[in-house]
Chain A
Amino acid sequence: MSVSPALAAGDTIRRSDRRLGVVMLTPALAYITVLVALPFLLALFLSLTNSSAGSLDFSFVGLANFRSVIANPVFQRSLQNTFVFTLVSQSLVMLLGNILARALLRPFFGKALARFLILMPWAAPISLATLGWLWIYDSTFSVINWVLLVTGWLEPGQWYYWLGDTTLAMIAIITIHVWRMLPFSTVILLAGLTSIPNEVREAAAIDGAGMLARIFQVEIPMMKPILTVAVLFGVVFTFTDMSLVYLLTRGGPYNSTHVLASLAFQDGVLGGDVGRGAAVAIFLVPVLVVLAIFMLRASRRAEVV
């Protein structure tokens, strides 16, 4: 048994412990292998077939599904949307989350209540919360438009069709996502800020550093691991999410707001073309893998340094 360099000499794992380790790991591993890995392989396999409606009566079509998917403008659009959606909403979440976390760091009257209210969006079940937003964005009854009209932002006769315009619909989707992810990221960032000792801040202040300099030169580097974690989870949740788009716009107007996950659902489950749906969904996987490995490594390295 060779001592791995990562472990100090005294930490060498005993043989009996290793056996115990294997035993403790087995149930979870077995479950994951059987219920995630094997079905995943089956899905990969289906993407090479012309299976309809999930029946296992099909013939091989090779890479035809992939070829037809890649050539499809709707797919290209949703690939682009997936990245735009993820990048924009995560940037916003990190920016607003930092502001909010800093605001919550200071003591003030009613802080407990404020914290409670700010946390609510994360607790709401997404399918129901989206219905709430659907009502807010309704083309006829939108309260947002009423406010804009009363305040004079909208001229009489001018109107915003939140879910009827590609840009507005993307804004609507991103707004809901930011609304829902913001509490989660704020909570993580708050923990990061709390963990920075007050002495560090004071030392920086005594050195004459301004607030921005303090934030960018002292706090952000110190919070790097926790920022990485917040971004990682945010991206993961955003990238794989199909429910928001499916429930809010169903990909409309004219299939222009689909993300990969919702398009896969439309083609594979609604359209009954399982092979095609699988082919669309598979494009999510490599991106997520690269992203996750990169970020996991980064967060760990930051920790060591």
Chain B
Amino acid sequence: MQTRRQFIMRGGTLVAAGVAAAATGPTILVRDARAAGQLKILQWSHFVPAYDKWFDPFAKEWGAKHGLEVTVDHVGFADVVPRATAEVAAQSGHDIHMFLGLASAFEEHVIDLADVVTTLEKKYGKQVELAHRSTYNPFTKKQFALSDMWVPDPGNYHKQAWTKIGMENGPTTYEDLVKAGPEIKKAMPQMQIPIGIGLSQDIDSNMAVRNILWCHGGSIQDKDSNVVLNSPETLAALDYAKRLYSAGMTQAVLSWNAASNNQAFNAQQTAYILNSISAYRTAQDNKLPVLENYFFTPALKGPSGTQLASEHVMSGYVVWKFSKNQDAAKQFLVALVDASRDSMMASKLYNFPSFYGAAAEASTPLAKKPESGAAWITAQCNKDPFGSNPPDKLALLARAQPWSTNLGYPGYGNPAEGEIFDTYVITDMFAKAATGALSPKDAMAEANTRAKQIFDKWRQKKMVGGGGKDK
């Protein structure tokens, strides 16, 4: 009894000292003797599960070659950010952390990867512009993350439904969706939600509403990080969302999670969704009846012809400041980009290389690499190795780059943009306006206030510029 009590009390004192130190003093790093020779990677559970089966052994083998024991831990995509918060708070955890939206909110806590990018650019030529804009902060001049891949976000349309209403190649403009809504309802009465664009608090909706905003000429910030959400263009986008909502959508889209639009499309309950090809791959794996009607369109055009879509996933690998294996981590990231071809194939054409040059034959001269890599990518998409019928069903993906852009467009994906994304400020605004819960004006005013607060907070931290021309 006595000893047990003493033990507990001693433990208590120790813990008390720990809390006191945590609260007041600088971080005390407890060095783990085994830490050297280890590399820990936190990776999402890829939307195409086959990718994980490639990535984990790839990382381990790379480690074995370099005398490192590599551990890969997977979390669901929604848990990537909370896990990062916990690790930063703890100042320990993994060495490399993979983000699939913007890593910028964690910029203070990660190391500069400029040298990795320089190495890779010397090897493969420039990375695609949207990858650069998602991983670099021009205000602090810091390369806070490295993108090895991005994912195009085409429209998915139900061939039979759209053929019935006389648009056999699917919609090309946002106006087409409004027009088609009631017609599809008539032609395919069993379809619950003719147009399935999410307006909920999830990642797909977050991308979709930005597309609508941009194509109507609006944006959260301008290219110099001034908040410009409060604009006639935003109002036009919100008015459009309102029309679209009453023409072809239902409250279902307000509750959707990342899986819902896929489920609805695969169950033939909707005729149009915005999604990468992972839902299509699921339909293929399960040989679903929807398959023969599963087709894709490029990003839709706005009223003045603007054609833009956010990437669907943008990998952002960061190396934490608290990592004790920063050099190994950087080397691994280089190796990961080296394997761009394998990565694209393992993910069944879901991942697109951020460095197109990395998909070229090794013998190609540097100047030709991006071009040659792009040709290889096009060849894969034109003849889908994973059994599409017709085989060129995915050909449009190879042409997606010009209409794909980054979160934060027309500026960079800075930390304020990241926080606005993670707390659903924009989806919130769209959903409120579309359903009439608030007038478009009020919804915009509310979102603008919140956006300015978030930007101001990051400006005070000297991590985001602009502010002089906030609206």
Residues of A within 8 A of B (CB): 23, 26-27, 30-31, 33-35, 38-39, 41-42, 45, 50, 52-57, 68, 72-74, 138-141, 157, 159, 161-166, 169, 249-256, 266-274
B163 interface contact, C-beta 8 A? no
Label chain B's interface by main secondary structure. helix
A38 pairs with B16, CB closer than 8 A: yes
With A27-B5, A38-B23, A254-B254: A55-B427 Cβ-Cβ less than 8 Å: no
**Contacts A54-B88, A270-B81 hold; do A39 and B19 have CB atoms under 8 A apart?**
yes
List the B residue with the shortest CB-CB distance to A137: B255
Contact with A along B237-270 (1 / 0, CB 8 A): 0000000000000111111110010011001010
CB-CB under 8 A from A140, the residues of chain B are 192, 252, 260, 263-264, 267, 269
B202, B254, B263, B418: the one within 8 Å of A164 (CB):
B254
Complex contacts, B8 vs chain A, CB 8 Å: 27, 30-31
Are B431 and A254 within 8 A (Cβ)?
A: yes
Q: Which residue of A lies closest to B453 (CB)?
A: A68
Give Cα A255 to B19, complex, Å: 35
Residues of A contacting B453 in the complex (Cβ-Cβ under 8 angstroms): 68
CB closest chain-B residue, reference A172: B255
Q: Which of B104-112, B287-295, B352-360, B367-375 contacts A (4 or more CB under 8 A)?
A: B104-112
Q: Does B450 contact A (CB under 8 A)?
A: yes
The interface residues of chain A lying within 8 Å CB-to-CB of B419 are: 271-273
Q: Are A50 and B457 in contact (CB under 8 A)?
A: yes
CB-defined contacts of A38 to chain B, threshold 8 Å: 16, 19-20, 23
Q: In the bound complex, how far is the Cα of B459 from the Cα of A50, in angstroms?
A: 12
B187 within 8 A of A: no
Q: How far is the CA of A139 from the CA of B446 in the complex (A)?
A: 28
- Beyond the given A140-B263, A252-B201, could you list 6 further A-B residue pairs with CB under 8 A, ordered by the A residue number? A27-B8, A30-B8, A53-B85, A54-B90, A72-B450, A140-B269
Q: How many angstroms from the CA of A279 to the CA of B202 in the assembled complex?
A: 24
A250 near B201 with CB under 8 A, answer yes
B423 at the interface (CB under 8 A from A): yes
Asked if B252 and A55 make an inter-chain contact with CB atoms under 8 angstroms apart, the answer reads no
CB A283 to nearest CB in B, in angstroms, measures 18
**Pair A139/B88 contact, Cβ less than 8 Å:** no
Q: How far is the CA of A118 from the CA of B247 in the complex (A)?
A: 45
CB pair A255 B89 closer than 8 Å = no
CB distance from A271 to the nearest CB of B (A): 4
Residues on the B chain within 8 Å of A269, using CB: 81-82, 85-86
Cβ-defined contact, A270 with B82, below 8 A: yes
User: B69-99 interface mask toward A, CB cutoff 8 Å, 1 = contact, 0 = none?
Assistant: 0000000000001101110111000000000
Enumerate chain A residues within 8 angstroms of B428, measured Cβ to Cβ: 74, 254-255
Q: Does B286 contact A (CB under 8 A)?
A: no
Contact among B189, B252, B460, B461 for A161, CB-based, below 8 A: B252
The 6 listed contacts between A and B (C-beta, < 8 Å) are: A34-B12, A34-B16, A35-B19, A139-B192, A140-B269, A271-B105
**Chain B contacts for A72, CB-based, 8 A:** 450
The smallest beta-carbon distance between A186 and chain B, in angstroms, is: 31
Tell me whether A53 and B264 are in contact (CB under 8 A). no
- Asked whether, in the complex, the Cβ of B201 is within 8 Å of the Cβ of A255, the reply is yes
